[in-house]
Chains A and B, each alone.
Chain A
């Protein structure tokens, strides 16, 4: 492999990794607070691409506005899903909530198939993202740079929200100990809604950029990236935002490099994440930087 080709793969891996990281954060935040695998997160991601697509194509909004609206609407959809499907089950056994999450995910997929039809649609790619740059033989689209930069900006905002604001402090408190936080006067439901909003909005940021990177979108788009990003969150250490980012990059780079170095395994690309999951569960179930969580009686 030439150094040029390697750099090209590296750029690809980094941009895929940033997308995974953005989606994985939603999983890790919800898991940190509710101890729930939010199976519907992949569908939220899928919906965001359609909202952005309709904003640009149907309502002919300028892309900046359409994308911003899509991020906000998707965030609200996340809150709505939590209110409808998870909050009534707060006191129920964990399995019921998991089944409810699967139900919502199953429902959104099928609703998507009915509303958007199974035929793939083409996602708009504004010129700003489609410029080609030539670096002495390596051709890289501006999108490849934009993705990590945008991801870094949103990660910065997230870190600020979580560490410097009052709501962020409440979120950290709830994720440490749900009951005690409630006793301390924290409005847990509000914190949960807030968490779902942030997680879903970040998934939308990822979704929109995913749409531009892989412009054929269909209603089952969220299935595989959704699962993979959950795995990324587990690999990094579930519950930790830094972990989700590390896991996302690890997975994105790993997938791209696997195909780059061993083209004969390209058919197994989708299995890479799952093999990684099994390995990490065997070697270090708490993830790369995870702390040990014990079950309480």
Chain B
């Protein structure tokens, strides 16, 4: 069979397989498992968007939690009905123009993403011209400033009390649909000339500049796109969790996504997707280490917080001994799979023909 034809068939059939999986998932999974699946879709979005800057463009951004919080708050405030808003804002009055607005999911998410992107321009324009490490510290700082502002602007964000009762309008379809769309868009960007420019900057900034690539423009572009999707991911997270507060978006939250990206492979979309799903599930599975266990005669007391120790050790282990992560900079391809399962001769033949 011709490879291109085979590829098309495989892609289409796996697409339908995924749709069937999502369709039938509620039949054989309980609510808890469904929730984890939803969460992994969101983590995939956040990891893919972080990988765009940190993995593909070589920018070390640590402001993801900040952009997420902008998306989360915007989406939450636009989705909530007037009644829920009034119930939430019992300490301080809500800013009047905000009170009456209630939008649907898509415009709310887009609004959240756009606001995050605008902030990315504001923060990126001055710092992207500087040396790399300054971006790390400036984005980190920005994330913290946003958090402090959100804690103190009572009439818009309800301060430290956070927002409760965000309507849970998403489901597996929404989360995975948007995740698929984000992956597709990012993949198309990376395959375009923009993507090549990003990678050129990552590999050697000075060489890229001397080849006539406008470094600043492409860096800013990558940074802004990443922030946009981080905002959308944050919005979806807010809807899934139904409760948000500023403490949630401390910069340590960014580390979790950094961990996912590093473990998946800096500079591999496939890696981010695999590790996004894998780590999210692992995070839940590993909860058992924090619970007391009874192994017959031996009782092991639960150690709260042990989970995160294990995760940070995994991150350290990967970065010290296996820097490539799961995928390195490789991407998923049917060719690779076919070769791995021992059907490579079909492709070889075709390659010889061409």
Contacts and interface: CB of A to CB of B under 8 A. Distances in A.
A113 interface: yes
B337 interface: no
Given A95-B54, A110-B309, A100 B141 contact: no
A223 B255 CA distance: 13
B74 to A, nearest CB: 20
Contacts of B304: 113-114
A183 interface: no
A267 B144 CA distance: 13
B315 to A, nearest CB: 4
Contacts of A109: 252, 312
B275 interface: no
A114 B126 contact: no
Q: On chain A, which size bracket covers the interface?
A: 35 or more
A274 interface: yes
Contacts of B115: none
Interface in B101-154: 123, 126-127, 130-134, 136-138, 140-142, 144-145, 148-149, 151-152
Interface stretch (B30-38, B224-232, B316-324): B316-324
A110 B308 contact: yes
A184 interface: no
A80 interface: no
B71 to A, nearest CB: 20
A16 B143 CA distance: 24
B234 interface: no
A98 B138 contact: no
Nearest to A94: B132
Given A103-B315, A106-B312, A270 B148 contact: yes
Contacts of B151: 267
A106 B307 CA distance: 12
Contacts of B206: 295, 297
A281 interface: yes
A278 interface: yes
Contacts of B311: 106, 110
A230 interface: yes
Interface string B205-232: 1100000000000000000000000000
B58 interface: yes
Contacts of A274: 141-142, 144-145
B315 A271 contact: no
Contact of A102 (B133, B148, B255, B308): B255
Interface stretch (A70-78, A84-92, A169-177): A84-92
Interface string B287-323: 0000000000000000111101101110110011001
B60 interface: yes
A271 B130 CA distance: 21
B145 A271 contact: yes
B42 interface: no
9 contacts: A95-B54, A95-B266, A96-B323, A102-B315, A104-B316, A106-B255, A110-B311, A113-B304, A295-B205
Nearest 6 pairs of A and B residues by beta carbon:
A274-B141, A107-B312, A110-B308, A271-B148, A103-B316, A267-B152
